[in-house]
């Protein structure tokens, strides 16, 4: 009897010790967030801004790693195959919802292989030209494109990205012909714009602000239906093309199958950082509008964009490079 008692007691102690080892408060080590685009772009700036504040909350470092390529597929695949323990996350852009139409053989399921955490922010895209460009308005570009079909090209961050869809929507609604030039991110497109290789580009707000402040580019229009607070003097494209309205959004995902309480904690902590005045002020200067949704609303947004843009992408015959 005594021996059985002591064996049971020892087993209980060992079980408790093992349980305690695995029940450490999250995070017990650095969290890694992948950014699917090059440094300096909107996704990168947003991620690093939030990571700085959340790491202060946690007392743990957050490692932000840029892993560009394939419209976000490379970074997303890395997260889809990671353990669902919250230590590997990815900050995706709007293109996450449209990639299934561009990459028919995606190495993951856009919905089942990810745990939505929060839709964090959005921004209008901006139609940019070089500071010395002869174009002074979106209307002039549209008029030139109509007079000389196919003579103008625009840069964008990659096939199927929000900036690509922005250009395709303009072509569709204005009934003009523009050549779409894909880049591996928004900043490479701006570099070619500055170098004179392309006459214009569509870029998201955060990656446009620095160039606008430096005076190297001019903004002809923003892509949301209303003018943007950070560019109040810049017209909306809807003023030249009635009915035009589109944006880019960013949100945080983890691997599929994450425990609901862990998803809730991550959502709470990142939204809390998003609502800090210092963060809101910085995002406002960058041209990003804070959102901070629940995981459920982010999931609904991904599904809604999947349904909205799928037919447009198919009709335009868009494919990944």
Question: How far apart (Å, rounded) are the C-alpha atoms in residues 150 and 122?
Answer: 31
Shared domain for 77 and 89, answered yes or no, is yes
**Mean pLDDT throughout 130-136?**
97
204 located within any domain:
yes
Cβ neighbors of 59 (< 8 A, separation 6 or more) are: none
3-state secondary structure 119-146: EEEEECEEEEEECCCCCCCHHHHHHHHH
pTM attached to this predicted model: 0.78
24 located within any domain:
no
Q: What is the CATH number of the domain that holds 230?
A: 3.40.190.10
Shared domain for 116 and 163, answered yes or no, is no
Q: Where are the alpha helices (DSSP H) in the chain?
A: 2-22, 42-58, 73-80, 95-102, 138-147, 162-174, 186-195, 205-214, 260-274, 277-286, 295-316
Shared domain for 61 and 132, answered yes or no, is no
Q: Which of 75-89, 186-200, 249-263, 274-288 has the lowest mean pLDDT?
A: 274-288
pLDDT in tens, 212-222: 999 999 999 99
The residue among 211, 239, 267 that closes a domain is 239
The residue among 239, 258, 287 that closes a domain is 239
Give the confidence band of 294 by pLDDT, cuts at 50, 70, 90.
very high
The alpha carbon of residue 35 and the mean position of all alpha carbons in its chain are separated, in whole angstroms, by 9
Domain total for the chain? Answer: 2
Give residue 74's pLDDT. Answer: 94
- Backbone Cα Rg of the chain: 23
CB-based contact 128:200 (threshold 8 Å): yes
The residue among 239, 263, 295 that closes a domain is 239
Domain that holds residue 208: 125-239
Shared domain for 215 and 114, answered yes or no, is no
Cβ neighbors of 222 (< 8 A, separation 6 or more) are: 124, 125, 126, 127, 205, 228, 231, 234, 235, 236, 237
Q: What angle do CA 52, 56, 59 make, to 5 degrees?
A: 125
7 located within any domain:
no
pLDDT in tens, 59-108: 999 999 999 888 889 999 999 999 999 999 999 988 899 999 988 889 99
């Amino acid at each position: 009897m005594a021996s059985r008692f002591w064996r049971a007691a020892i087993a209980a102690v060992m079980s408790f010790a093992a349980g305690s080892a695995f029940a450490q408060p999250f995070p017990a080590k650095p969290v890694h967030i992948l950014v699917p685009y090059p440094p300096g772009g909107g996704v990168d700036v947003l991620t690093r801004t939030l990571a700085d504040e959340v790491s202060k909350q946690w007392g743990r470092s957050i490692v932000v790693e840029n892993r560009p390529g394939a419209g976000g597929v490379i970074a997303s695949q890395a997260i889809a195959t990671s353990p669902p323990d919250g230590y590997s996350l990815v900050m995706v852009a709007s293109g996450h919802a449209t990639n299934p139409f561009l990459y028919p053989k995606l190495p993951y399921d856009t919905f089942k292989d990810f745990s939505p955490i929060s839709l964090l922010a959005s921004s209008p895209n901006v139609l940019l030209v070089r500071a010395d460009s002869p174009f002074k308005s979106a209307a002039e570009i549209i008029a030139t494109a109509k007079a000389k079909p196919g003579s103008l090209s625009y840069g964008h961050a990659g096939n199927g990205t929000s900036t690509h869809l922005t250009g395709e929507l303009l072509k569709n609604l204005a009934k003009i012909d523009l050549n779409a030039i894909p880049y591996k991110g928004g900043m490479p497109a701006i570099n070619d714009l500055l170098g004179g290789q392309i006459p214009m580009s569509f870029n998201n707000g955060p990656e446009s602000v620095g160039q606008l402040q430096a005076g190297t580019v001019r903004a002809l229009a923003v892509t949301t239906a209303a003018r943007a607070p950070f560019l109040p003097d810049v017209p909306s494209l809807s003023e030249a093309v009635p009915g035009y309205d589109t944006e880019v959004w960013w949100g945080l995902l983890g691997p599929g199958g994450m425990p609901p309480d862990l998803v809730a904690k991550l959502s709470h902590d990142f939204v809390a950082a998003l609502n800090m005045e210092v963060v809101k002020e910085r995002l406002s200067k960058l041209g990003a509008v804070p959102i901070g949704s629940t995981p459920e609303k982010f999931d609904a947004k991904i599904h809604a964009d999947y349904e909205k843009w799928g037919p447009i992408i198919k009709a335009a015959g868009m494919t990944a490079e």
